[in-house]
């Protein structure tokens, strides 16, 4: 039986959790992301750094199967996310990844509690209300558990989105600027929580940020540079 500290999925594969092979992405004929070969091993929490426009969100969208790279392959847990049909990508994402979008994308019609419940139902096939209440408490939103996303402040929404990503105990937590709207105390609290949940469940973190307050917590970095502007 699974408990709160049991990983959603045990990684039996010997290979890296995320692997880019010859990966790059063009938009309108211009290269916006140049990764090449890169690997993220289980437990090797990594930071994705780079100035605005350097391709952080594009890379996250490729890792999570929301964007198809124009060149190369992206594998998650040994499966070629970039080569799967849409339904296969959705399944691999649900089974493996907890995602914090830069734009949050909480479901507007659902309360904070029900946003977490839906994520749990989709990823795990069941809902654990006690675990949801505990996670909402850990992000400091117990008093807003019944609120709809539009009733939350930006920082409260960010904390709800982090809670939603962690409640499924994913093997891979991918977060796009998860602390951008948070004050110092809440930024520290959220990054502590992400590391704590990762340690308890065996999850691996991949976090895009500009936020110098959290950068020092990560041993591994993937630095993106903005590609040179296309010559006129």
Ligand X SMILES: Nc1ncnc2c1ncn2[C@@H]1O[C@H](COP(=O)(O)OP(=O)(O)OP(=O)(O)O)[C@@H](O)[C@H]1O
Query: Which residues contribute to the site for ligand X (CB under 6 A)?
Result: 27, 32, 50, 52-58, 102
State both tokens at 65. Answer: 């199967």
Closer to Mg ion by Cβ: residue 132 or 190:
190
Which of the choices Mg ion, ligand X, none does residue 209 contact, using the CB cut-off of 5 to 8 A by kind?
none
The continuous run of DSSP H or E covering 158 comes out as helix 154-166
Which of the choices ligand X, Mg ion, none does residue 58 contact, using the CB cut-off of 5 to 8 A by kind?
ligand X
Q: Smallest gap, in angstroms, from Cβ of residue 36 to ligand X? A: 17
Closer to ligand X by Cβ: residue 11 or 34:
34
Give me the DSSP letters along 190-217. Answer: HHHHHHHHHHHHT-EEEEE---HHHHTT
Which of the choices ligand X, Mg ion, none does residue 42 contact, using the CB cut-off of 5 to 8 A by kind?
none
Q: What are phi and psi of 71, to 5 degrees?
A: -140, 140
Closer to ligand X by Cβ: residue 62 or 119:
62
Distance of CA 10 to the CA centre of its chain: 18
Asked whether 201 and 8 are in contact (CB, 8 A), the reply is yes
State both tokens at 119. Answer: 């994520």
209 sits near Mg ion (criterion: CB under 5 A) = no
Q: Smallest gap, in angstroms, from Cβ of residue 86 to ligand X? A: 18
Q: 18-27 and 71-76 as β-strands: parallel, antiparallel, unpaired?
A: antiparallel
Which of the choices Mg ion, ligand X, none does residue 50 contact, using the CB cut-off of 5 to 8 A by kind?
ligand X
Closer to Mg ion by Cβ: residue 112 or 207:
207
State both tokens at 201. Answer: 């469940």
């Amino acid at each position: 039986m699974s408990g709160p500290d049991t990983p959603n999925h045990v990684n039996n594969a010997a290979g890296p959790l995320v692997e880019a092979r010859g990966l790059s992405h063009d938009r309108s004929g211009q290269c916006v992301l140049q990764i090449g070969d890169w690997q993220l091993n289980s437990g090797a929490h990594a930071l994705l750094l780079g100035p605005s426009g350097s391709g952080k969100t594009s890379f996250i969208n490729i890792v999570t199967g929301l964007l198809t790279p124009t060149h190369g392959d992206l594998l998650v847990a040994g499966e070629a996310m970039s080569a799967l049909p849409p339904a296969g990508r959705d399944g691999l994402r649900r089974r493996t990844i907890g995602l914090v979008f830069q734009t949050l994308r909480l479901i507007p019609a659902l309360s904070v509690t029900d946003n977490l419940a839906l994520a749990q139902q989709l990823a795990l096939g069941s809902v654990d209300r006690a675990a949801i209440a505990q996670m909402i408490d850990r992000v400091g939103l117990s008093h807003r558990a019944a609120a709809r996303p539009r009733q939350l402040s930006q920082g409260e929404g960010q904390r709800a989105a982090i809670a939603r990503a962690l409640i499924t105990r994913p093997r891979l937590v991918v977060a796009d600027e998860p602390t951008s709207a948070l004050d110092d105390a809440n930024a520290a609290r959220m990054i502590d929580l992400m590391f704590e949940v990762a340690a308890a469940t065996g999850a691996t973190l991949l976090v895009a940020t500009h936020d110098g307050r959290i950068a020092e917590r990560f041993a591994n970095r993937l630095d993106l540079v903005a590609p040179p502007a296309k010559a006129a």
